[in-house]
């Protein structure tokens, strides 16, 4: 391969530890904490994303003749479709009923993390063809491995379009994000809402703290082992109720605390000396990302306070542009989190399966776009021009 006259090559590694953190991070950039070497390597070292759990790392590195990394892709060979948040279980079931073999498949993503960000990680010095070289390398790996499919989930919109030009099928989804319109305080945000929603949120915030509950927002050196112990209990309890098994190990949270404490915002609710709930957030350059929540006990409105309103408080205090509160949950709209489009791109080896999926995606796109418009029109808490 050549890029601007420079000879480049692509190689695969089965562990993030195989590449120096500084070289990976120079391609990943500083904006998104989930793409950092520290985060992705913690998933592997902790046993959360490994061959044993169905996430065999197959990361791609684009290097020059001197071995300098100019591009990378976080890539996994998967034996299932869990922990992705872009659901293809129906595709797998239909293909296997027809006699095909859907697994293993390749997945370019951040495991267990429905957060939009680059998937074609490019060094600032990479030439204009580097992205296309990485896309070609991805397809080449898929063909050599004879996998059924290759999925690039939660890429940026521009990456999704570029992958579409390379023959990948395009899919959209929705999440709910809060945007900071220059608010100086939470009350500034409330002033942008209609009176009914403003009163509702104030009541929810007041009621959430009934019974003497107190909220702590912990980051950096304030994070201690006891906080991770308590949060892990909440995480495990929620995982058991929702999915039947947890994706992240206890060791992962220790590594997160030791490697990335300054990029963690752990919001914990305490009743007396006992922690009863918590929400894990990671902090990027301009965004706070809500990731995991758990609770022991029945505390009305506490979920909204800890996961949504305290994240807004944090974003306003830090001057961040947005809060991304994770996947699903149209109830977020009424609390100021409006629909936002997400993207994925899919390479399907079998032409028959590809045609069937493409037809499905056309119908799905129309449904998602219509639903997003309808939800915002019906549920948005913000003032209308004709209101008030």
Q: What average pLDDT does the chain have?
A: 95
- Contact assessment for residue 276 and residue 299, using Cβ atoms and an 8 Å cutoff: yes
Q: What is the predicted pLDDT for the residue at 246?
A: 86
Tens of pLDDT, residue by residue over 6-58, are 789 999 999 999 999 999 999 999 999 999 999 999 999 999 999 999 999 99
Q: What is the predicted pLDDT for the residue at 330?
A: 86
User: How far apart, in whole angstroms, are the C-alpha atoms of residue 134 and residue 157?
Assistant: 17
DSSP assignment of 317-353, as one string?
Answer: HHT-SEEEEEE--GGGGGGT-EEEEEEEEEEESSHHH
Q: What is the predicted pLDDT for the residue at 78?
A: 98
Tens of pLDDT, residue by residue over 74-114, are 999 999 999 999 999 999 999 999 999 999 999 999 999 99
Tens of pLDDT, residue by residue over 127-154, are 999 999 999 999 999 999 999 999 999 9
Helix axis angle, 130-145 to 157-165, nearest 10°? 60
Does 5 have pLDDT greater than 80?
A: no
Does 388 have pLDDT greater than 50?
A: no
User: How far apart, in whole angstroms, are the C-alpha atoms of residue 174 and residue 176?
Assistant: 7
How far is CA 359 from its chain centroid?
27
What separation in angstroms does the CA of 375 have from each of 176, 317, 320, 333?
11, 29, 25, 8
Closest CA to 276 of 220, 233, 312: 233
CA dihedral 378, 382, 384, 385 (to 10 degrees): -160
Pairs from 300-305 (Cβ < 8 Å, separation ≥ 24): 300/207, 300/208, 300/210, 301/204, 301/205, 301/207, 301/208, 302/208, 302/213, 302/269, 302/276, 302/277, 303/277, 304/204, 304/208, 304/335, 305/204, 305/205, 305/208, 305/209, 305/215, 305/269
Q: Is 257 helix (H, G, I), strand (E, B) or coil?
A: helix
Q: Is the domain 181-320 a CATH 3.40.630.30 member? A: yes
Please tell me the least confidently modeled range out of 155-159, 242-246, 302-306.
242-246
Pairing of strands 149-153, 105-108: parallel
| pLDDT more than 90, % of the chain | 90
Closest CA to 333 of 173, 185, 179, 117: 179
| pLDDT more than 70, % of the chain | 96
User: How far apart, in whole angstroms, are the C-alpha atoms of residue 367 and residue 275?
Assistant: 42
Closest CA to 289 of 268, 267, 270, 305: 267
Q: What is the mean pLDDT of residues 176-191?
A: 98
User: How far apart, in whole angstroms, are the C-alpha atoms of residue 234 and residue 279?
Assistant: 9
The count of C-alpha atoms lying within 13 angstroms of the C-alpha of 24, restricted to the half-sphere facing its C-beta, is 22
Q: What is the predicted pLDDT for the residue at 164?
A: 98
Q: What is the predicted pLDDT for the residue at 326?
A: 83
All CATH 3.40.630.30 domain ranges of the chain, comma separated, are 2-174+340-375, 181-320
Pure H helices in 29-108: 37-45, 89-97
Q: Angle 199-267-176 (CA atoms, 0-180°, nearest 5)? A: 60
Does 378 have pLDDT greater than 70?
A: yes
Q: What is the predicted pLDDT for the residue at 242?
A: 53
Q: What is the predicted pLDDT for the residue at 158?
A: 98
Check residues 284 and 388 and name the one with the higher pLDDT.
284
Choosing among 3.40.630.30, 1.20.1440.120, 3.40.190.10, 3.40.50.970, the CATH entry for 2-174+340-375 is: 3.40.630.30
- Contact assessment for residue 110 and residue 311, using Cβ atoms and an 8 Å cutoff: no
Tens of pLDDT, residue by residue over 223-260, are 999 999 999 999 998 865 555 578 999 999 999 999 99
Q: Angle 316-319-323 (CA atoms, 0-180°, nearest 5)? A: 60
């Amino acid at each position: 391969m050549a890029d601007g006259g420079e000879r480049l090559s692509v190689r695969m590694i089965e562990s993030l530890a195989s590449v120096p953190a500084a070289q990976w991070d120079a391609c990943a950039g500083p904006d998104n904490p989930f793409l950092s070497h520290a985060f992705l390597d913690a998933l592997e070292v902790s046993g959360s994303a490994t061959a044993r759990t169905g996430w065999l790392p197959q990361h791609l590195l684009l290097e020059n003749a001197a071995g300098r990394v100019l591009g990378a892709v976080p890539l996994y060979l998967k034996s299932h479709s869990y922990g992705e948040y872009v659901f293809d279980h129906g595709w797998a079931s239909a293909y296997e009923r027809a006699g095909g073999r859907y697994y293993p498949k390749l997945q370019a993503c951040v495991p267990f993390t429905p957060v939009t960000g680059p998937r074609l990680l490019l060094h600032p010095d990479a030439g204009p063809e580097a992205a296309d070289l990485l896309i070609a390398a991805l397809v080449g790996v898929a063909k050599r491995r004879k996998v059924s499919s290759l999925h690039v989930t939660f890429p940026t919109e521009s990456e999704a379009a570029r992958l579409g030009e390379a023959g990948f099928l395009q899919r959209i989804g929705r999440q709910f994000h809060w945007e900071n319109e220059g608010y100086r305080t939470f009350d500034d945000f409330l002033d942008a809402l209609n009176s009914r929603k403003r009163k509702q949120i104030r009541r929810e915030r007041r009621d959430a703290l009934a019974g003497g509950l107190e909220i702590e927002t912990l980051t950096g050196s304030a994070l201690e082992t006891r906080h991770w112990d308590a949060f892990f209990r909440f995480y495990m309890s929620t995982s058991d109720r929702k999915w039947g098994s947890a994706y992240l190990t206890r060791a992962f949270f220790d590594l997160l605390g030791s490697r990335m404490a300054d990029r963690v915002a752990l919001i914990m609710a305490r009743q007396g000396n006992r922690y009863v709930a918590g929400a894990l957030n990671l902090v990027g350059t301009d965004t706070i990302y809500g990731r995991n929540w758990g609770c022991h006990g029945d505390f009305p409105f506490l979920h909204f306070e800890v996961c949504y309103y305290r994240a807004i408080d944090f974003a306003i205090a830090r001057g961040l542009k947005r809060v991304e509160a994770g996947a699903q949950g149209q109830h977020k709209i009424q609390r100021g989190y409006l629909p936002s489009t997400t993207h994925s791109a899919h390479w399907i080896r079998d032409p028959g399966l590809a045609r069937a999926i493409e037809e499905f995606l056309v119908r799905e796109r129309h449904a998602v776009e219509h639903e997003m418009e309808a939800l915002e029109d019906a549920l948005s808490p913000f003032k209308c021009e004709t209101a008030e």
